[in-house]
Amino acid sequence: MERAFNSGARRKARGAASLRRLAAPVAAVLGCLQPGIDPVFLTLLTHATGVPLASHGWIVGATQGGSAVGALLVWLYGAHLPRRSGVAAAVLALVCALLTPLASGLAVVLALRAVFGLAMGAIYARAMAAFAARRPTGAYGVVLLSQLLCATLLSLVLPDVARRGGADLALLVLAVVPGLAALAMPFVERAPVCAPVERGATSRAGWAMALATFWFICATMMVWSLSGALAMAAGLGEGVIGKAVAVGSLAGAITALGVMRERRVVPMPVTAVLVGLALLAPLVMTRPGAALDFMLAIVLLNIGSTAIIIRCSGIATGLGLNTRFRVFVAATHSLGMSAGPALGSGAMWVWPGSGLLLAAGFAVVAGIAAVSVAHWRAPAR
């Protein structure tokens, strides 16, 4: 009897340990899933609530801005937040998701999406910091790969749900995302993921690499958010754009698989330069009638952005010697996704002809410079 009891106790302990290991990556994937499904989500949102197509940019901005604020709150005050704050954030996001199909008017939609983004940004920063504690590069690779696969699956499933049950039902299905996060976060929070920072614990190289992560994500989002508009202006149809996005996502997933390893073959400054050229490819290769060139440019964009985000995030996390810095590295993702489109749009307003290329080029150069500083301060280990 005692042997059976001990065996059952060991099985329960192993099960609990497995849940704790899976909780952080699952919560991190759920926390950053929204950008991958935005094109489908925004279409469903217009059908369900009647918000105009022209307001989609504002909705994305509200969501990503809220996500950046949520990540920053965890970075600044994570050590003082209640133990169950992650669960509370997930429940708040769940409420916003359930209310979204019922929203009337753009102002209400913007408010709901801003709060939703804030909650999911906090979840992502906390969970990613916990997951990246041991093998940072592999952790970011796993999360990015899983996010791409989940976003692709949802993008295929949601339109079919909408055809069968309406856009309202499809939006309600998305409430599963924060619902699952609410189930995962209690296990994530058992680890001290927001311990107080030790002074001087993180080297300048770590901060430089975190800054590089921010700038490369900025450049990616500048180009990605307007690549469809560039293609339409060049006379390329929606079918070409859809195929380019699908092939690009597949290329990004394959890249994530290859970059998960902790070993680095090419020096990071060289990688940064090659990636910078890849990120700018859609701006110089999108021309009238050049469908294959556009598709190749989108593939290069996805390969480059996936590789550099995983590499920079992983190296920065590895160079940080405290948990709070790991939260900051995760926060740079939300900050870059919200700042990139805003900076790109601002540059286009000031310089209508060449503003996007100038802004994206500046972000790429800033990212390369930050990587070079980090490499000089902390040579490849």
CATH fold of the domain at 22-188? Growth Hormone; Chain: A; (1.20.1250)
Top-confidence residue, 206 or 55: 206
Residue owning tokens 């080029």? 361
- Please tell me which residue, 204 or 124, carries the higher pLDDT value: 124
Note the pLDDT of residue 3: 55
Same fold, 22-188 and 204-377: yes
Domain residue extents for the chain: 22-188, 204-377
Is residue 117 within 8 A of residue 17, CB to CB? The reply is no
Quote the CA–CA distance of 273 and 73 in Å, as a whole number.
33
pLDDT value of position 224: 82
Amino acid 375: pLDDT: 84
pLDDT category of residue 89 using cuts at 50, 70 and 90: very high
Nearest to 205 by CA among 83, 373, 37: 373
Which positions ≥6 away from 373 have C-beta within 8 Å? Answer: 204, 205, 208
Q: What is the mean pLDDT of residues 154-179?
A: 90
Mean pLDDT of 47-58: 81
Backbone phi, psi, residue 267, to 5°: -55, 145
Span 30-41, average pLDDT: 86
Higher pLDDT: 286 or 133? It is: 286
Q: What is the separation of C-alpha 367 from the centre of its chain, rounded to a whole number of angstroms?
A: 18
| 8 A C-beta contact, residue 139 and residue 25 | yes
State the burial class of residue 363 (Cβ atoms within 10 Å of its Cβ: 0-12, 13-18, 19+): buried
Long-range contacts of 273-276 (CB under 8 A, 24+ apart): 273/368, 274/304, 275/216, 275/304, 275/305, 275/307, 275/308, 276/219, 276/304, 276/364, 276/365, 276/367, 276/368
What's the pLDDT tens digit per position in 237-287? 767 777 787 788 888 888 888 887 666 677 899 999 999 999 999 999 988
Q: Where does 204-377 sit in CATH, by number?
A: 1.20.1250.20
CA 60/CA 327 separation, integer angstroms: 23
pLDDT attached to residue 271: 93
Using only the alpha carbons of the chain, give its radius of gyration: 21
Position 11 scores a pLDDT of 56
Q: What is the pLDDT of residue 212?
A: 96
- Mean of per-residue pLDDT scores for the chain: 84
Residues 226, 230, 235, 237, CA torsion sign: negative
Please state, in angstroms and rounded to a whole number, the distance separating the CA atoms of residues 206 and 313: 10
Tokens 């598709």: give the residue: 295
pLDDT band at 202 (very low <50, low <70, confident <90, very high): low
pLDDT at residue 238, rounded to an integer: 64
Which distant-in-sequence residues (6+ apart) come within 8 Å of 376 by Cβ? Answer: none
pLDDT at 348: 81
